[in-house]
Homo-oligomer: A and B are copies of this chain.
Amino acid sequence: MCYDNRMEYIESLTNSRVKQWVRLHHKKDRDRTGLFLVEGEHLIQEALKADAVETIITDTASPFEFGHVIKVTGGIMKKISDNVSEVHLIAVCRQRQLSPDNDMKRVLILDGVQDPGNMGTLIRTAVSFSFDAVYCSEDCCDLYNEKTIRSTQGAMFHIPVVRCDLHDLVSGLQKDGFTVIATALDASEPMEQILPEEHMAFILGNEGQGVHKELQMQADRRLRIEMNGFESLNVAVAGGIVMYRYRI
């Protein structure tokens, strides 16, 4: 293999940049630097489309047309990677929040979703059903957690994900003409009775507790997914069923 002369090469496990990259596994360091890591070809492809990549790190060769590539040893790759299986491509990405559009029609609101897998899957589903934005409460899990990123399958680069106070958000959406609908197991309105409208926002809740009672009361309607059996759905599955029904 012949190396491009302009390509940086790092061999030392104690190199200061390597240490900085490893620290990006901690939320504190991601918050401080505004950076985060993304692993594997598919996710990096999505990050590149969104112009979010700062540096690509590899121990083989980069398949991308992207200028800033740093070549490292396999040992360094292993040290930086979060994954148990071998990873040959990691991108350092910039946290850049997309701005919600003025003419949004479908909004997803997450109230205390704690599991990174659920959070990522909900974002992925929101993009698949053309939702315009995802809002989440301060106590939702971190968007830049590796597990969340992996579960989004890259969808996080294509939709605004905004962390904010949900009570203010709901008031604002209601003023803007949105019908805000909270999901709840014991809600009186079965989903089939709630017809699609032009502007709708849906609140999904925490895995154990569901949507906070005050927020349920602040919503315009409360929706129940019809079930006969076990009466228990994973929040990402519930979100999928709701977003499919009200997709644009």
Closest CB-CB distance, A10 to chain B, in whole Å?
A: 32
Interface presence of A129 (CB below 8 A): yes
Complex: how many Å from CA A107 to CA B231? 18
**Set of chain B residues within 8 Å of A248, measured between Cβ atoms:** 228
Protomer copies:
2
**Interface stretch of the complex, out of A58-66, A168-176, A239-247:** A239-247
Residue tally, chain A, CB below 8 Å to B: 31
Bits for A215-248, please: 1 = Cβ < 8 Å to B, else 0.
0000000000111111111101111110010011
Question: Measuring CB to CB, which residues of chain A are less than 8 angstroms from any residue of chain B?
Answer: 117, 121, 124-125, 127-130, 151, 153, 155, 158, 225-234, 236-241, 244, 247-248
Closest CB-CB distance, A7 to chain B, in whole Å?
A: 31
- Interface pairs (15), CB distance under 8 Å: A121-B237, A124-B233, A125-B234, A125-B237, A128-B227, A128-B229, A128-B230, A128-B233, A129-B228, A130-B227, A153-B232, A226-B247, A227-B247, A240-B240, A241-B244
Given contacts A117-B117, A240-B240, contact A247 B233 (CB under 8 A): no
Whether the Cβ atoms of B230 and A127 lie closer than 8 Å is: yes
**Set of chain B residues within 8 Å of A155, measured between Cβ atoms:** 230, 232
Complex: how many Å from CA A128 to CA B239? 15
Closest CB-CB distance, A65 to chain B, in whole Å?
A: 23
Complex: how many Å from CA A228 to CA B247? 9
**Set of chain B residues within 8 Å of A225, measured between Cβ atoms:** 244
Given contacts A241-B240, A244-B241, A247-B226, contact A234 B129 (CB under 8 A): no
